[in-house]
């Protein structure tokens, strides 16, 4: 299997060299299936497949496309420049309007490595306040080096971290082609800084990784207490559709928000009680009945790690009170 994978990557590199020599593309071609799905009058999105970050050539997260009469707004840029280049081709199949702006939900690798493609198109990059923490971190540099190995050739020496044009720390609205957009930073929840995008006439919300539809979320270094507060506020917002950072657009937006909120609430309840009673993590984890979530995709990969993160953070919360 490793031999076949290496052979496939060699073929892709040859194709890339050939196309680059002909001036067709600056990036090794992504060969995954990518469909631009229409959600409403102005809104489209592409959906990555469930899995770990290096599955499916890195196409495991979502990106949004909002087409107006005066330009295109993109929400998130996918996990490799090659994927973003493929997304750009999909956009060009439906409109020749310029890419005006890219709104990033947060600065995690699977959502930002494609930014350079849209920056080259002249798009303005908006990021939530807090993204600068990630950009200045050793983790950001180490992650890029790791992905240059694990996602070669689609992430390589030409892949770079893009510094945004603006960091937002408060809600801001703008009008483009008669469509009103509202960008709402929500602080450190899933990451060092998160934000959502609301497309007002379509009543569609892009949530980024604040919502994981139909799967267990990945908490990473998330602030689960603040994340939970954000979700409780979101439950009161009437939506026609919700496009999460991972998974399909929610046919029932309220249920999607509630499912993520329930999971975080459950983690905090169980791990918080054990941390308060000084129960060791291993014992605490084994004592929990996880059956309500065990059948969700990514449970095996993410749940134990999530529980440990919440256990440690709630231990710290106990000590600080």
CA 8 vs CA 4, 31, 78, 84: distances in Å: 6, 11, 22, 20
Q: Are 63 and 39 in contact (CB under 8 A)?
A: no
Assigned domain for 263 exists: no
Q: Are 212 and 247 in contact (CB under 8 A)?
A: yes
Residues 19, 83, single domain; the answer is no
β 63-68/43-46 pair status:
antiparallel
Q: Which two tokens stand for residue 10?
A: 């060699």
The pLDDT of residue 10: 47
The pLDDT of residue 18: 43
Assigned domain for 319 exists: no
**Containing domain of residue 15, as a range?**
1-31
State which of 258, 279, 307 marks the end of a domain: 258
Q: Are 69 and 98 in contact (CB under 8 A)?
A: no
Assigned domain for 271 exists: no
The pLDDT of residue 238: 76
CA nearest neighbour of 140 among 167, 126, 124, 160: 160
CA 182 vs CA 149, 171, 295: distances in Å: 37, 7, 35
Q: Are 97 and 72 in contact (CB under 8 A)?
A: yes
Which CATH number covers residue 191? 3.60.15.10
State which of 258, 290, 305 marks the end of a domain: 258
β 99-103/63-68 pair status:
unpaired
Assigned domain for 99 exists: yes
State which of 258, 288, 313 marks the end of a domain: 258
CA nearest neighbour of 30 among 2, 63, 3, 1: 63
Distance, in Å, from the CA atom of 137 to the CA atom of 131, rounded to the nearest integer, reads: 10
Assigned domain for 186 exists: yes
Question: Running DSSP on this structure, what letter comes out for residue 268?
Answer: H
Residues 23, 73, single domain; the answer is no
Residues 1, 86, single domain; the answer is no
Distance, in Å, from the CA atom of 125 to the CA atom of 148, rounded to the nearest integer, reads: 23
Residues 106, 5, single domain; the answer is no
Residues 27, 39, single domain; the answer is no
The pLDDT of residue 59: 98
Residues in the chain where the model's pLDDT stays below 50: 1-12, 14-23
- Tokens 């510094």 identify what position? 163
The pLDDT of residue 25: 61
Assigned domain for 93 exists: yes
Q: What predicted TM-score, i.e. pTM, was given to this entire model?
A: 0.82
Question: Running DSSP on this structure, what letter comes out for residue 121?
Answer: T
Residues 149, 204, single domain; the answer is yes
Phi, psi of 144, rounded to the nearest 5 degrees: -65, -40
Assigned domain for 222 exists: yes
Number of domains in the chain: 2
């Amino acid at each position: 299997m490793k031999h076949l994978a290496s052979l496939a990557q060699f073929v892709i590199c040859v194709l890339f060299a050939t196309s680059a020599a002909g001036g067709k593309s600056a990036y090794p071609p992504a060969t995954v299936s990518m469909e631009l799905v229409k959600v409403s009058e102005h809104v489209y999105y592409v959906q990555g497949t469930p899995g770990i970050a290096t599955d499916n050539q890195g196409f495991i997260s979502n990106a949004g496309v909002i087409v107006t009469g005066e330009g295109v707004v993109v929400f998130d840029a996918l996990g490799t420049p090659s994927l973003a280049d493929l997304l750009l081709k999909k956009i060009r199949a439906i409109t020749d309007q310029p890419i005006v702006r890219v709104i990033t939900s947060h600065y995690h690798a699977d959502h930002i490595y494609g930014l350079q493609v849209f920056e080259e198109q002249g798009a303005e990059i908006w990021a939530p306040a807090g993204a600068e923490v990630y950009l200045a971190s050793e983790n950001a540099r180490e992650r890029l080096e790791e992905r240059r190995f694990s996602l070669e050739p689609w992430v390589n020496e030409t892949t770079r971290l893009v510094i945004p044009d603006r960091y937002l720390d408060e809600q801001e609205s703008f009008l483009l082609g008669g469509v009103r957009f509202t960008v709402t930073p929500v602080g450190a929840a899933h990451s060092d800084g998160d934000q959502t995008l609301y497309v007002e006439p379509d009543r569609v919300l892009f949530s980024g990784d604040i919502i994981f539809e139909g799967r267990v979320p990945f908490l990473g270094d998330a602030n689960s207490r603040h994340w939970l507060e954000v979700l409780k506020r979101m439950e009161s917002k009437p939506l026609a559709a919700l496009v999460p950072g991972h998974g399909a657009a929610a046919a029932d937006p309220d249920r999607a928000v509630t499912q993520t909120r329930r999971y975080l609430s459950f983690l905090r309840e169980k791990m918080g009680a054990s941390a308060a009673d000084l129960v060791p993590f291993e014992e605490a984890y084994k004592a929990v009945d996880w059956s309500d979530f065990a059948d969700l995709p990514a449970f095996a990969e993410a749940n134990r790690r999530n529980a440990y993160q919440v256990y440690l953070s709630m231990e710290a919360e106990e000590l600080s009170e």
